[in-house]
Copies of this chain bind each other. A is one copy, B any other.
Amino acid sequence: MTIRDVAELSGVSVSTVSRDLNEHPDVSDDVRARVLSAVKELHYVPNASARDLVKSGGDSIGVVVRGADNPFFTPIITAIEKSVEKAGYTLSIRQIRAGEDELAAAARLARSKKLKGIILLGGRFDYTADEVAPIDIPFVCCTYANNFGTVDRAAFSSVSIDDRAEAYKAVKYLTDKGHRKIAVLMDSSRDGSISELRYRGYLDALRDAGIEPDEGLTIESSTYRMDSVYDKTRVFAASGKEFTAIFAIADSMAIAAIKALHDEGIDVPGDCSVIAIDGINMSLYTIPTLTTLVQPKEEIGKRAVKILMDKLEGSGEHCHIRLNTALRQGGSVRNL
Residue of B43, B45, B69 touching A75 (CB-CB under 8 A): B69
Q: A69-B74, A90-B112, A262-B287 are in contact. Are A43 and B256 (CB under 8 A)?
A: no
Write out, one digit per residue, whether chain A residues 35-73 have a CB within 8 A of any chain B CB (1) or not (0).
000000001111111001000000000000000110100
Q: What residue in chain B is nearest A289 (Cβ atoms)?
A: B259
A177 within 8 A of B: no
Q: What residue in chain B is nearest A281 (Cβ atoms)?
A: B226
A114 contacts which chain B residues (CB < 8 A)? Answer: 49
User: How many A residues have CB within 8 A of the partner chain?
Assistant: 45
Q: What residue in chain B is nearest A282 (Cβ atoms)?
A: B282
Task: Report yes or no: A93 in contact with B90, Cβ–Cβ below 8 A.
Answer: no
A19 within 8 A of B: no
Q: How far is the CB of A45 from chain B (nearest CB, A)?
A: 5
Q: How far is the CB of A264 from chain B (nearest CB, A)?
A: 12
A77 within 8 A of B: yes
Residue of B69, B92, B262, B289 touching A92 (CB-CB under 8 A): B92
Q: How far is the CB of A48 from chain B (nearest CB, A)?
A: 4
CA A43 to CA B285, docked complex, whole Å: 46
Residue of B48, B93, B134 touching A45 (CB-CB under 8 A): B134
A227 contacts which chain B residues (CB < 8 A)? Answer: 284
A107 within 8 A of B: yes
Task: Report yes or no: B95 in contact with A285, Cβ–Cβ below 8 A.
Answer: no
Write out, one digit per residue, whether chain A residues 87-116 have a CB within 8 A of any chain B CB (1) or not (0).
000101101000000001001100111100
A46 contacts which chain B residues (CB < 8 A)? Answer: 108, 111
A230 within 8 A of B: yes
Q: How far is the CB of A300 from chain B (nearest CB, A)?
A: 16
CA A75 to CA B68, docked complex, whole Å: 9
Residue of B93, B130, B255 touching A285 (CB-CB under 8 A): B255
Residue of B47, B69, B71, B289 touching A111 (CB-CB under 8 A): B47
Task: Report yes or no: A43 in contact with B282, Cβ–Cβ below 8 A.
Answer: no
Q: What residue in chain B is nearest A82 (Cβ atoms)?
A: B97
Residue of B47, B74, B113, B259 touching A287 (CB-CB under 8 A): B259
Scoring A45, A92, A134 by chain B CB atoms within 10 A of each residue's CB, the highest score goes to A45
Scoring A43, A48, A69 by chain B CB atoms within 10 A of each residue's CB, the highest score goes to A43
Task: Report yes or no: A43 in contact with B134, Cβ–Cβ below 8 A.
Answer: yes
A282 contacts which chain B residues (CB < 8 A)? Answer: 71, 226, 255, 282
Q: A226-B281, A256-B285, A282-B282 are in contact. Are A112 and B77 (CB under 8 A)?
A: no
A78 within 8 A of B: yes
A255 contacts which chain B residues (CB < 8 A)? Answer: 282, 285
CA A14 to CA B68, docked complex, whole Å: 37
Q: What residue in chain B is nearest A75 (Cβ atoms)?
A: B69
Task: List 15 contacting pairs A-B, 8 Å CB cutoff, sorted by A.
Answer: A45-B111, A46-B111, A47-B112, A49-B111, A49-B113, A52-B112, A90-B112, A92-B92, A226-B282, A255-B282, A256-B285, A259-B284, A259-B285, A282-B282, A287-B287
A319 contacts which chain B residues (CB < 8 A)? Answer: none
A278 within 8 A of B: no
CA A258 to CA B287, docked complex, whole Å: 9
A133 within 8 A of B: yes
